[in-house]
Amino acid sequence: MNLYELTISDAHALLAKKEISSKDLTRAVLDRIDAVDEKIGAYITVSEETAMGQAEDADKRIGQGGIGPLTGIPMAIKDVMCTEGMVTTCGSKILENFVPPYDATVISKLKQAGAVIVGKANMDEFAMGSSTENSGIKLTRNPWNPDYIPGGSSGGSAAAVAADMCIGALGSDTGGSIRQPASHCGVVGLKPTYGRVSRFGLVAFASSLDQIGPITKRVSDAALVMNVISGYDKRDSTSVPEDVPDFTSALAEGIEGLTIGIPKEYFDTQGLDPQVSEAVTSAVKAIESLGARSIEISLPNSEYVVAVYYIIAPCEASSNLARYDGVKYGIRNTDSEDYLEMYRRTRSSGFGPEVQRRIILGTYALSAGYYDAYYLKASQVRSLILQDFKNAFESCDVIVSPIAPTPAFKIGEKIDDPLTMYLSDIFTLSANLAGIPGMSVPCGFSSSGLPIGLQLMATHFNEEALLKVACNFEKATDYHNRKPKL
Ligand code: GLN
């Protein structure tokens, strides 16, 4: 086996026994990037020198007996998280030269744990998109078939994990951006409960929805990353002072007696590919055969989810993105006569079409006279969506559904039709609106060999239930053992 193919837990075991060094492992990952990233385009920045330096430090630390589960592990970071001294573009031209003077809390935590930051992964500009085609920097291809999108917005992170160009990765999820690319690339993705992981240093898209989480090769690896990145942070006022469990302890538990809820509305959705619904249905059978029982549940406000999200997210984005004015961050247009012209030209050339569309939508929906009709109404329906989940979790422990209506689509297929693109998020948006944790785990392949993911959702702060079901399911199946041919 090649070192770059290792999972976090297997790499950790070899590092702990000193059978390999972090330098060997990091070198293998960097060589793998050299060999295949030209075809995939997962990374915006690869920091060979920094990575090798961190690997050397990790080896010293291991030599002194200071190894933790992520010590010496090469990780890819979605380019939406600030990394001190390393360019952080957020997939946007407007930030193409932005070098943050500080680390996001999750990055400080990874560094304290001794992880190696290999580089920054491509993404849809400001995390707005479902295919990574909205990146202002480059195109990322699906490792399973280069004519297809890797999903988005964390497409670079998911493709890097699937193509063994890192051992694990971080993504961010505002409406599905960890789970959907994980699903399309055949890897594991976990969006934690809102407030579980600090958003300090995460470039804000929609602050009431954004959450950072792991994208990994295995369920157990997601638990290891969660152990490191979770917890209250005084620099993020929305992070929650809730105890952080040892997420790995959930992995050893069985699922006998657990109740799985199947939302009937999700399976009635127009445009649901029969191959996806078959894969999910047989996953439910597999989970039942492990001792869980399934019941039908209802999430009656599901039909409003896309409309509500595409009011709330653009509104918050329009406000968050006001800071990119050519003065404080990134590029500036210098041909302008006055400052208003400078703002206009900087923003018109720095932001791509999807970001501009959302700023305009959000500004309109928040303007006087429209606020009540749009933002306020959307917020009211958002509480109904949350209530749907609260009701559902009275009768089940974990909700199971598809991640996306179809497997990955072709590059270019939906890019000119934003509404069709938005509909591809129909199953993932509700977890962000409700603030609950959601996960994607591989559950099949389409007839053309593209991965299909299973979505698991649980109530607030019950990531352990997701990890438990996902881990038992993974053990009983072998989708995770397949690899794309590169
Ligand atoms: N696809 C959704 C959007 O375009 C979600 C993106 C995300 O989770 N960052 O907004």
Share of the chain above pLDDT 70, in %: 100
pTM: 0.98
Across the beta sheet with 398-402, what order do the strands follow? 43-46, 116-121, 74-78, 168-173, 211-216, 188-191, 438-445, 451-457, 398-402, 259-263, 293-297
Instruction: Give the binding-site residues of ligand 1, using a 6 Å CB cut-off.
Output: 127-130, 153, 173-177, 205, 313, 425
Query: What pLDDT digit, counting tens, does each position of 117-163 carry?
Result: 999 999 999 999 999 999 999 999 999 999 999 999 999 999 999 99
Q: Give the number of the atom of ligand 1 that is nearest the alpha carbon of residue 432.
A: 8
Task: Give me the domains of the chain, ranges plus CATH numbers.
Answer: 3-258 (3.90.1300.10)
Across the chain, what does the average pLDDT equal? Answer: 97
Phi and psi at residue 59, to the nearest 5° = -60, -40
Token pair in block for residue 369: 């006279």
Which candidate, 210, 128, 130, 129, places its Cα nearest to that of 170? Answer: 210
Does the structure show a pLDDT above 90 at 269?
Answer: no
Res 263 pLDDT > 90: yes
CA-nearest of 199, 262, 207 to 231 is 199
**pLDDT over 90 at 295, yes or no:** yes
C-alpha distance from residue 295 to each of 186, 201, 426, 440, 458 (Å): 27, 41, 22, 20, 15
Eight-state DSSP code of residue 174? S
What pLDDT score does 404 carry? Answer: 97
What's the confidence (pLDDT) of residue 1? 86
Residues 6+ apart with CB under 8 A from 161: 76, 168, 169, 182, 185, 187, 215, 216, 217
Token reading at 386: 């949350």
Give the mutation target among 79, 90, 128 for probing the ligand 1 site: most ligand atoms within 8 A of CB: 128
Residue 172 pLDDT more than 90? yes
State pLDDT tens for residues 59-90.
999 999 999 999 999 999 999 999 999 999 99
Q: Is the pLDDT of residue 101 over 90?
A: yes
Please determine, for residue 43, whether its predicted confidence score (pLDDT) is greater than 90: yes
Measuring CA to CA, which residue among 71, 93, 91, 72 is closest to residue 80? Answer: 91
* Exposure string over 95-116, b if 16+ CB within 10 A, otherwise e: bbebebeebbbbbbbbbebbbb
pLDDT digits (tens, 9 = 90+) for 321-352: 999 999 988 899 999 999 999 999 999 999 99
Strands 438-445 and 188-191: antiparallel
**Residue 59 is encoded by which pair of tokens?**
């080896």
Give the residue, by CA position, lying nearest to ligand 1 atom 10: 128
Residue nearest to atom 4 of ligand 1 (CA): 129
Give percent above pLDDT 90 in the chain. 98
Residues designated as active site? 78, 153, 177
The token duo for 420 is 């069709």
For ligand 1, the distance from its centroid to the CA atom of residue 174, given in whole angstroms, is 5
Q: Cα of 255 to ligand 1 centre, how many Å?
A: 31
pLDDT tens sequence across 200-230: 999 999 999 999 999 999 999 999 999 999 9
